Amino acid sequence: MSGRAGTRAIRASVAGAVQGVGFREATRRRAVALGVQGWVRNAEDGTVALHAEGSPLALDELIAFLHEGPRGASVAQVDVREVAVEGHEQFAMRGVSAGSFLVREHAARARHFDLRLEVAGAMRSWAVPKGPSLDPSVKRLAVEVADHELDAGTLEGASGGGAAIVWDRGPYEQGGRVPWPQALERGHAVFVLHGQKLRGGFALQRTRPGPKAQWLLLKRRDQHARDGYDVVAEQPASVLSGCTLEQVLAGADPN
């Protein structure tokens, strides 16, 4: 979709002894040195897959590198095909954790879910009134709130007439064509969650900037998407204690 003159794009698959030998990082370094954008990841079939876009000369040099690989790799075969330019603005290593994510269910003045993503040393935070969904057709309002500390202390339990549970958590990967945190600053961020309930690709799309910016949280269509499934209703329990928010509230001191 980009019209950068002279830019071409390829998808490549590298077979052989290519995983666990630093292939992705070496490819990323070479791509950055060549001014090539895109991504590299380990595929489930043991190959290394990449998307690369840049000048034809730079792509030829990167393809030549793929045939060699880093020290320790043994390349058996490199398959390359031309694809459309997608407009990447970074060369990303996929499948690498960017830190942790956390989703709390929180009963305060109004019930809501807290979504927190570790970004640049803080937890970027959104209040999601209806919580996340695994159904790609469902868009959930997410209101940006102040960052939290990485170690926010007690995350679960009753306090001050309210209560919270850790509804899901795990590592996450940053995705998309734009590096983070610029992706968030521009209002469109794609990421992959590796939680117990939430898995696969998600996106945050800002619809109203400013203080308490409004975003939409949505599930991207992939093998973890579940049409018509209400994960919040079906899986209400804390991933820490197994308790639901109702149980925590029922056991809470009313004072």
When asked if residue 118 is in the footprint of Mn ion (CB under 5 A), the reply is no
Q: How long a stretch of residues is the chain?
A: 255
Nearer to Mn ion, 114 or 156 (CB): 114
* Smallest gap from residue 142 Cβ to Mn ion (A): 12
Number of chain positions touching Mn ion (CB under 5 A): 2
The stretch near Mn ion (CB under 5 A) out of 26-34, 103-111, 181-189, 194-202 is 103-111
Q: Give dist(CA 227, CA 157) in Å, integer.
A: 32
- Of 114, 118, 156, 173, the one binding Mn ion (CB under 5 A) is 114
Nearer to Mn ion, 75 or 127 (CB): 127
Is the distance from CB of 150 to CB of 123 less than 8 angstroms? yes
- DSSP string spanning the chain? ----TT-EEEEEEEEEE-SSSSHHHHHHHHHHHHT-EEEEEE-TTS-EEEEEEE-HHHHHHHHHHHHH-STT-EEEEEEEEEE------SEEESS---EEEEEEEEESSSEEEEEEEEETTEEEEEEETT---S-TT-EEEEEEEEEE-SS-S--SEEETTEEEEEEEEEEEEEESSS-TTHHHHHTEEEEEEE-SS-EEEEEEEEEE-STT-EEEEEE-SSTT--TT--HHHH--S-TTT---HHHHHHTS---
The stretch near Mn ion (CB under 5 A) out of 23-31, 105-113, 187-195, 242-250 is 105-113
* Smallest gap from residue 154 Cβ to Mn ion (A): 13
- Of 30, 106, 116, 140, the one binding Mn ion (CB under 5 A) is 106
When asked if residue 124 is in the footprint of Mn ion (CB under 5 A), the reply is no
Nearer to Mn ion, 106 or 140 (CB): 106
Nearer to Mn ion, 131 or 201 (CB): 131
Q: What are the catalytic residues?
A: 24, 42
When asked if residue 53 is in the footprint of Mn ion (CB under 5 A), the reply is no
The stretch near Mn ion (CB under 5 A) out of 6-14, 91-99, 111-119, 171-179 is 111-119
The stretch near Mn ion (CB under 5 A) out of 78-86, 88-96, 114-122, 223-231 is 114-122
* Smallest gap from residue 108 Cβ to Mn ion (A): 6
* Smallest gap from residue 209 Cβ to Mn ion (A): 21
When asked if residue 24 is in the footprint of Mn ion (CB under 5 A), the reply is no
Distances (CA, A) of 169 to 90, 104, 105: 27, 9, 12
Per CB under 5 A, residues contacting Mn ion are 106, 114
